[in-house]
Amino acid sequence: DTGVSQNPRHKITKRGQNVTFRCDPISEHNRLYWYRQTLGQGPEFLTYFQNEAQLEKSRLLSDRFSAERPKGSFSTLEIQRTEQGDSAMYLCASSTDRGRTPYEQYFGPGTRLTVT
């Protein structure tokens, strides 16, 4: 499978714990995005990387959230001191700035976080 992959697919954690998610983009894609989706809503943008540089962050991204993309390959999203309001599906997407489809974002299957 050459699509975007995410791990874990599901995560249940207790309030106050830290969690980390991983995203592996399509191999030739240099752009990577994190979105959050709650039930019945469209995805909401969190942050964007071009190669290893984090170029854009949403106001939604509180200081409890941090994302990295070392070496411009996979990315991790960490949430510290989780709250029940963090329960959501966390989606990763990737795209390339080359070729015929520089704008198209392809999504991974998501990580569903439940904070109890």
Partner 1 sequence: GENVEQHPSTLSVQEGDSAVIKCTYSDSASNYFPWYKQELGKRPQLIIDIRSNVGEKKDQRIAVTLNKTAKHFSLHITETQPEDSAVYFCAARGTGRRALTFGSGTRLQVQP
Binding residues for partner 1, rule: CB under 8 A, are: 4, 31, 33, 40-45, 48, 50, 55-56, 58, 91, 95, 103-110
In which residue are the tokens 């752009």 written? 31
Residues 6+ apart with CB under 8 A from 7: 21, 22, 111
Report the C-alpha gap between 76 and 86 in whole angstroms: 16
- Give me the least distance between CB of 18 and partner 1, in Å please: 25
Partners of 99 in the β-ladder: none
SS3 48: strand
Q: Which is nearer to partner 1, 41 or 62 (CB)?
A: 41
Closer by beta carbon to partner 1, 14 or else 103: 103
Please state the closest distance from residue 67 (CB atom) to partner 1, in A: 13
Mapped onto helix, strand or coil, the DSSP state of residue 99 is coil
Q: What angle do CA 51, 32, 13 make, to 5 degrees?
A: 120
Give the residue with the Cβ less far from partner 1, 41 or 73: 41
State the minimum distance, in angstroms, from the CB of residue 41 to partner 1. Answer: 6
Taking the complex as a whole, the smallest distance from the CB of residue 81 to partner 1 amounts, in Å, to 25
